[in-house]
A and B are shown apart, each in its own frame.
Chain A
Amino acid sequence: MKFFRFFLIFSLLGWISITAAQDNPRIDEIKVTISNATPYLGQQLIYTVTYYAPAEATNIQLQLPDFVGFAQKNQPISQTSQQIENQQASLIQQQVLLHPNLEGTQIINPATINIPETPFQAGQMLVSDPISLTVQALPPNPPDTFTGAVGQFDLSTSLDKAEGQSGEPITLEITLTGSGNFDQILSPSHRLPNNWQISSRPPHYQDINAQVQSKNFYWQFIPNQIGELSLPAIIFSYFDPNSASYRTLTSNPLSLTISGEAFQALSTSQRPSEQIPLKPITSIQTDNPIPDLFFWLLWLIVPILFIIIILVQSTRNRGTSSTPKRSQALQLVMQYLSQAQQSDANTAYRLIGQGITSYLNQIYRTDTEALSLNEVKQLIRNLSPDLQKRLITCLEQADAGQYAPITKQDAQSLLRQTFDTLKQIENEVSK
């Protein structure tokens, strides 16, 4: 009896602790749930993955299963902080909207949580349990207008304009709102007359909230009648899993007023009465719409010729390379002359002399601070005699004026003379 009592108490305690463990979340636990384990084909299900992560865990990677046999739409992952077992934890949850495409027993493989190893945490991989579902077939004998929609829907229709001119296109918009397998739903039939020109545009999806969506279908048409027209109501059938029955929705008829002359698109029965005449075949050569490779190669000839000519010209210009050197030399001597203009007379004479020397150094690539008269004469021997004489005179005067009593006017006069002489030299050389 005593033993039996102990056994009973321990069993009860064990059951309580197991139940408590199942109901109460635990850190580092991954759980998956499905909203309905026996759905109908195409019925919307919500698959939820929940993981309680330790607060310090980082870079958590959630990998969803493949969902073979289901159409899926992933919802965004949510992450919130919670207190679990007196510890701070992070609740990570992701929902997926599923629509089964295959009947019978379907297995959803496990989801995995992967926590990579870091210096602060050990690597970890957690795997959830798989989920087994039994997908039921839809009941037989659906209505003729049923095209595979499963869920709960509302139907509305509208025209982009209630009045139009003959020959203008009008757009019919059919909107389905609700929850269901929207991706698989085709447009309800527009029921417009066959002899109207009609085309469809790609449908437009909108998520109203996590489980409610809308899908808009567009039909563009040109009526070939004028006056007040009444478009037939749109009929849409779907299967409602809640009531396990097919339902049919009918929209209100739409009215339209078309004014102008009756537009009659040519139909094949209204083709011109005479046979379209043939064109005479003037040649039996095969013609190619695209020019051949040889033609495209010709395009390179003129630009290559242009580049060659430019390169040749540049090379020739480089041969007369004294021109850039001379320009630099002239700029240098102008600096000296500018300074001389602002200095006193003796300093001006000195600067003029230095300027002429630096000019000759630049031109003739000599590197001496002072050139003797004979050296200068040697350097400028290729210039015209008149220019040689004028340059020598400037140098002699500059040399003499450094120490002699001279006035600022004398310095200015020598400056002008030197400037003119150097300009003449430049002109002679550039010819």
Chain B
Amino acid sequence: MYKTVKHQLFILPFSGGSVKYYNKWLTHLNPSIQVELIEMAGRGIRKSDVKYNNFDEATLDLFKIIKNKVDTSNFYIFGHSLGALLAYEISLKFQTEQLDLPKAVYLSGRTSPFYRFHENVEQLSSNEIIKELQSLGVEDIDIYKHPRAGKYYLSLLCGDYNLTKTYCKQEPILSKVNGHIFYGITDPFAVDINSWQDYFENKLDIHCFLGSHFYINNNFKEIIEIINKNIVLSWKNKIYVK
């Protein structure tokens, strides 16, 4: 008699985005993987929740949500860009709290915490931000230019950039979790991607794709295939039960 092993994959949003972006992933992920899309406070269905004052608040809030939802030892966390930093820090919280660790973290579209970006975002005009988004390959660029909604969506994005500005990593803390890094080869936020190795004990798996920051739009099926193989095949998704 065999029992199917359950896996949980927690997915976090990226800057300016709702985690609902990942709805299109659901039909491609292996059925044994229970997906939990975790929204940040102040966004989407959590729009009434008070927004975070700083990155640490975001980490703590999302860590608590994930901790309360974990009901298997086989859980994993995925994050792109801002989500990658959050996924890393949340996995460290499990480590420092001496809880069961995620089996792996999947960090996409962002180099290690050593590198900081958008430090001077308040000095950029809307046009400059939109121009940058365009170069990064953002999917719905026109929403940021829309006369009715553009200002609002830019404020969401800049809010998340400001959140990242409050993130301060003095010295790397070595994560004991298995790490997988995904990035677009021309992504300016993925410079020195190998620097992530300074933050992990185990050797990282690093996957490079064609594209810039939003390489993820055109390569999500390939990313999912890697995740499926990593989660399902490495755990041989059936165990024998007497």
User: Are A and B associated in one complex?
Assistant: no
A: residues with CB less than 8 A from B are: none
